[in-house]
Structure 1
Amino acid sequence: MFNLEVSHKTNSIQQIRYVCAIAAMHSASAIPGVIPIVHCGPGCADKQFMNLAFYNGFQGGGYGGGAVVPSTNSRELDVVFGGENRLRELIKASIKILDADLFVVLTGCISDLVGDDVGSIVREFQDQGVSIVYAETGGFKGNNFTGHELVVRAIIDQYVGDYDGPKKQGSVNVWSLLPYHNTFWRGDLTEIKRILEGIGLTVNILFGQESKGVAEWRDIPKAQFNLVLSPWLGLQTAKHLEDKYGQPFLHVPVIPIGGKETSAFLRKVTHFAELDIAKAEVFIKEEEKQYYHYLEGFSDFYAEYWWGLPAKFAVIGDSGYNLALTKFLVNQLGIIPGKQIITENPPEEYRAAIRKQYQTIAEDVFTDVEFEEDSYAIHQKIRQTNFGHKPPIVFGTTWERDLAKELKGAIVEVGFPASYEVVLSRSYIGYRGALTLLEKIYTTTVGASA
C-alpha cells in the first residue's frame, strides 16, 4: 500500500488518506459501460487502482477499471518532444479493441506540465462521432475529490451537452459519495436509490451497478431537480447544472443513518419535490416498522451488556461519513463524541458550514470538528483526547489500528484505506445499512473485550 511516511518536521503528510486527481479514473469506471484512458507516466494508474480499489475493501476494478485502463505510460521521449502522437495512437487502439459506451481521457502531471493539447486530440475523435471526453487531472490540480468534480463536469459539458426541453416531474439526479474512495459506496448508493424510489421518485443514481450508465447521464438535464447528499462534494456540480439547465437543487449535508435520520431525510425530499405525502408516509412507516423491530431485539443485548460497551468515540475520515456517523452514534446509541477529525481537505469555502453541522448534533449535544490530513498530527490529537475511564471506539482507517490497540479500544474501519475489510455490497446508511453498522460495531466491541 502507498504509505508516504515523512517526518512531520518537513511539513509533509504522513500516511495519506486520499490520492491524486487522476484517480478520478475510478469515477469514470464507476459508470457502467465507461472506460477511462489515462495520459500519464508509467505506474500512475496502477498505483491509483491498488490504493483506492484494492487495499480499500478489495473492491476490484470492475468492467472498465483496474488492469483494463489503457495508459500512454509516458516516457522521457514524450517529455522532451510531447506525447500527443502517443495519446492519439492509444485512443485509436482503445476504440478498436475495447467495447465502451463512452471513453474518458484523463491527464497526469507529465502531460499537463509539458502542455500536450489533449483537448484538440480528443476533439478529432469527437468530430468522427466517437463518444469520448477529456478532463485535465494532473496531480497538482488537487486530490481525487477535485478530480471527481472535473470528470463529472467534462461528461456533462462534452457528452451530455445542451438541453432546453421539458423536465420530468418526480425525477432526481443524486450526487453523493465518492466512488471507490468511500469503501461502501456501492451498497450505499443502492440503499439511497431504494429509499428514494420508495417515496415515489425516479432516480438517476449515476454511479454503480444500479445506474443505467450513459443513458442515465443523458437524462440528467430532464430531471426535476438535483439532490446533493453530502457536506460539500457535488455542490459545485449542482450549481453548474442550475446554471446550465435551470435545475434547482436540494442540499442535504448529513447522509442519513438509522430510522430517525432517514425518515427525516425522506420527508424533506418529499416536501421539496412536491411528492404524494400519503404515499411517502406509507413507505416510511413500513421501513420504520422493520427497522425498529430489529432494534427491539438488539435492545436486549444493549441493556444487558451496557457496562462493557464504549462510552466515547472518535471518528477520523472524510466529512461525508464523519458527520453521518457522529449524528447516528449520538442520537441513536447515546455515545459521547470524543474527537472528530475530517481528512479529505475540503475547500475552505465549505468549512464553516461543515463546522456548523457539528454544533447541532443533537438537541443538547454539540462538538467541534478539526480538519487534518497528516496522520502523525491526527494520532497525537487522539492520544491527547480524554475518553474517560472506558476504552474508546475509533471509527477510522487501517492507519488507526495500532493506535486503537495503544488506547486499548476497538477499531471499526469506515474509510480509505480499509485494508482489513472485504467489501462486496455492504452498506452503512439508510434503514438497512444502519442495522449492518450496528452489527459491525458491537461484534467488534464484544470481540475486543474478549
Structure 2
Amino acid sequence: MAITPLKTRNSGAAPLVPDIAEEGPIEQVRYACALGAMQTVASIPRAIAITHCGPGCADKQCGALAFNNAYQGGGWGGLGVAPSTNATQREVIFGGEDRLRELITHTLDLMEADLFVVLTGCIPDLIGDDVPAVVREFQARGAPVVHAGTGGFRGNNYFGHEVVTRAIIDQFAGPYDGPREAGLVNLWSPIPYQDPFWRGDLVELKRLLEGIGLRVNVLFGPGSAGVAEWRAIPRAQFNLVLSPWLGLATAQHLERQYGQPFLHIAVPPIGGRQTSEFLRQVAGFAGVPEAPAAAFIAAEERDYYGYIEAFSEFYSQYRWGLPARFAAVGDAATTLALSTFAVRQLGLMPACVVVTDNTPAEHRDAVRAAFRSLDHDVSIEPVFAEDSYAVHAAIRAADFGRKPPLIFGTTWERDLAKELRGFILEVGFPASYEVVLSRGYAGYRGALTLIERIYTTAISRSA
C-alpha cells in the first residue's frame, strides 16, 4: 500500500505545508541554539564547557535540554556546573577577552576535568572577541582547552554539535600519521541530550557492535572512556554514521584529515529485521570474521523473536481501539527509525511525517528517498517544518482512518493528541512528560522497550 503525499485543499498540487526555511519567530521551538552544544561537552565523561556568553544563556540551554527534556540530569559538567563569563554591557563596549582569560584561569585552578571546551554565545561572536587567541595562550602551556564558535545566530544545536566535535578533533586529538587499528570504530549517532534516549541507545549500539567483534569509541555517555577515546579517534579503522545527515560532515572531515573511510547508514536500527541487516552491513564493511558475527546475530534474533512470539498473542487478540496509523514528528533520524520500525515490525501505516530539525537543503532529497522506501509497498512524502502551527496543520490534515492515531511526537503534540482522541508517545525534544535515565529504543532490546511503551500507552488510554 502506498501512502500518497499530502495535498493542499485548493490546488491539489502542492504539499499542505511547504518545505521552507522558516524566518521570524518559531512557535514552540524543537531545538536549542548553537550554544546548546554545551550539552555535547557535558556528555563527554570528565569534560566541562566554559561558556563565554550573556547572563542566563547557558542556564537556558541546559535547562531546556537536560531538565525539561526528559529530566536527564547533568553529569560531570552539565546543568549548573558550567562556568560562564556572564558577559554584560561592559564586555559589549570594551570587549570580553580579559574576562574570558580570567575565567579560564580560575576554572583550571578550581575545577577538575580532562578537557575544557570554550563555547561562545552571540555577544562575543558579534563584537569580535578573539577567543581562539585567548585559548591558544592556555594551549601553549599544555592545558587541555579547546574553543568552538557557537553563537546562537549561527544555527541550532545540531549545527553546534558538529562544530564542537570538529573542534575537539582538530585541537585535541590533533595530527596522526600512524597505523589504524583493525576492528576499532568511531560511532557517530544520536545528539546527546537533544535526543532524550541517547544514553540507552549508545549503550545498546556499543553492545551490538562489540557482539560482532568490533571495539567502539562511543565518545559520549556512560559507556565512553572519555577523552582517551577522543584521542584514539585517528587510530580507528573506520567511522560509522547512523543518521541521515548529522555526523556525516564529521566523518567526511575525518576522511580528509586522516584518510579514514566511513560507513553511512541513514536509518538507525530499531527491531529485529533492521538490526540484523545493520549488523551484517557493518560486519561486511569492517571485514570481521563471518561465523562469530552470524552466531551473535542468530542468538539475538532467537531471544528477540521469542519475546515477539509472546507479544503476538496480545497483538492478535486485543481488539479495543489499538492504533493502525501513526504520525511521526521529530528530527530526520528519529522519524526515519521509528517509521521504518512501525511499518516493518508492527504493520502500522504512516499517515503523516514531519521533520523538524531544519535538515540542510542538500540532504533533503535523500531523506525524502528514504521515506519513499519504508518497505517494499509503503511510502510517504515527509513535510519539513519547524513551526508548531505548521506541524500541527499537517497532522490535522492527515487521514488516520477510523481508529485512534498514534503520534510519535513531543510535549507540543499532547493537546493535539487529545483533540484527535489518539495516543501520544514523546520521543523527542521537548519530552516534559517523560523521565529518562537509561532507556533507549535502538537495536533488539530497545525495540522491545518501545513496543511495551506503545501498547501500554494505547491500552491505558482506551481503558
Which has the higher relative contact order, 1 or 2, with Cα contacts under 8 A spaced 6 or more apart? 2
- 1-side partners of 2:385 and 2:298: how far apart? 40
2:119 aligns to what? 106
Q: Work out whether residues 321 and 404 of structure 2, in 8 Å CA contact, stay in contact via their aligned partners in 1.
A: no
Distance in structure 2 (CA, Å) of the matches to 1:328 and 1:214? 34
Per the alignment, residue 123 of structure 1 pairs with 136
Structure 2 Cα separation of the partners of residues 37 and 137 of structure 1: 12
Alpha-carbon distance in 2 for matches of 1:299, 1:226: 37
Which of 258, 262, 283 does residue 249 from structure 1 map onto? Answer: 262
Instruction: Report the Cα distance in structure 1 between the residues aligned to 2:166 and 2:394, rounded to whole angstroms.
Output: 37
The yes-or-no answer on 1:137 pairing with 2:137 is no
Aligned position for 1:83: 96
- The question of 1:406 aligning with 2:430 is answered no
> Which stretch shifts more, 33-42 or 11-20?
11-20
- The equivalent of 1:225 in structure 2 is 238
Q: Which moved more, 1:22-31 or 1:305-314?
A: 305-314
**Aligned-pair identity (%):** 61
Structural mapping, 1:384-395, within 5 Å: 384-395=397-408
Q: Which of 34, 46, 62 in structure 1 is aligned with 2:75?
A: 62
Structure 1 alignment gaps of length 5 or more: 1-8
Q: Does 1:205 align with 2:218?
A: yes
Q: Where in structure 1 do 4 or more consecutive aligned residues deviate above 6 Å?
A: none
Match of 1:74 among 78, 83, 87: 87
In the alignment, does 2:376 pair up with 1:363? yes
Q: Choose the corresponding residue for 1:49, options 42, 53, 62.
A: 62
Which amino acid counterpart does residue 414 of structure 1 have in structure 2? V
Alpha-carbon offset, residue 307 of structure 1:
5.0
Q: CA deviation at 1:384?
A: 1.2
Contact 2:356 2:385 in 1 (8 A): yes
Which residue of the other structure, out of 319, 322, 343, is the alignment partner of 1:330? 343
Which residue number corresponds to residue 4 of structure 1? none
- The answer to whether 1:290 aligns with 2:290 is no
Q: What is the CA-CA distance between 1:12 and the residue it aligns to?
A: 2.4
Q: How does 1:292-441 map to 2 (within 5 A)?
A: 292-441=305-454
Residues 388 and 150 from structure 1, CA distance in 2 versus in 1: closer, same or farther, beyond 3 angstroms? same
TM-superposed deviation, 1:11: 4.7
Alignment match, 2:171: 158
**1:429 shift after superposition:** 1.0
2:335 is matched by which residue type in structure 1? N
Measure the CA separation in 2 of the matches of 1:351 and 1:206.
27
User: For the residues of structure 1 that align with 2:348 and 2:23, how far apart are their CA atoms?
Assistant: 37
Letter in 2 for 1:150: V
Identify which of 177, 189, 199 aligns with 1:186: 199
User: Distance between the aligned counterparts of 1:399 and 1:449, measured in 2?
Assistant: 21
Consecutive unaligned residues of structure 2, counting only runs of 5 or more, are 1-21
Check if 1:280 corresponds to 2:293: yes
Question: 1:443, CA displacement in angstroms?
Answer: 0.2
After superposition, the C-alpha distances for 1:43-81 in whole angstroms (9 at most, x for unaligned) are 001000110010011001111111100000001100000
Question: Which one-letter code corresponds to 1:367 in the other structure?
Answer: I
Aligned-residue offset at 1:10: 8.4
- Deviation string 1:6-48 (CA, Å, 9 cap, x unpaired) is xxx9852100000100110110111101100000000001000
Most deviating of 307-316 and 184-193: 307-316
The one-letter amino acid of 2:341's match is: F
For 1:367 and 1:381, the matched residues in 2 are separated by: 13
Letter in 2 for 1:167: R
Alpha-carbon separation, structure 1, partners of 2:110 and 2:36? 23
Q: Which residue of 1 aligns with 2:284?
A: 271
Deviation at 1:306, TM superposition (A): 4.0
Residue identity matched to 1:238: A
1:19–1:10 Cα change, 3 Å? closer
Aligned length: 442
Alpha-carbon separation, structure 2, partners of 1:107 and 1:164: 31
Contact 2:320 / 2:462 at 8 angstroms: preserved in 1?
A: no
2:48 pairs with one of 15, 26, 35: 35
Partners in 2 of 1:385 and 1:351 — Cα distance? Answer: 21
Q: Give distance in 1, aligned partners of 2:162 and 2:136.
A: 21
TM-score, with structure 1 as normaliser:
0.97
Distance (whole Å) between structure 1 residues aligned to residue 319 and residue 128 of structure 2: 61
1:303-344 Cα distance to aligned partner (Å, 9 max, x none): 111452111000000111100000000000101100000001
Query: Residues 68 and 430 of structure 2 are in contact (CA less than 8 Å); yes or no, is this contact kept in structure 1?
Result: yes
Distance (whole Å) between structure 1 residues aligned to residue 24 and residue 236 of structure 2? 45
Equivalent residue letter for 2:434 = E
For the residues of structure 1 that align with 2:320 and 2:371, how far apart are their CA atoms? 27
Match of 1:87, SS? helix
CA distance in 2, matches of 1:30, 1:207: 5
Aligned to 2:457: 444
1:238 and 2:256 are equivalent in the alignment = no
Cα distance, 1:415 vs. partner? 0.4
Amino acid in the other structure paired with 1:214? V
Opposite residue 106 of structure 1, the aligned amino acid is L
Q: Which amino acid aligns with 2:117?
A: V
Q: Aligned Cα RMSD in Å?
A: 0.9
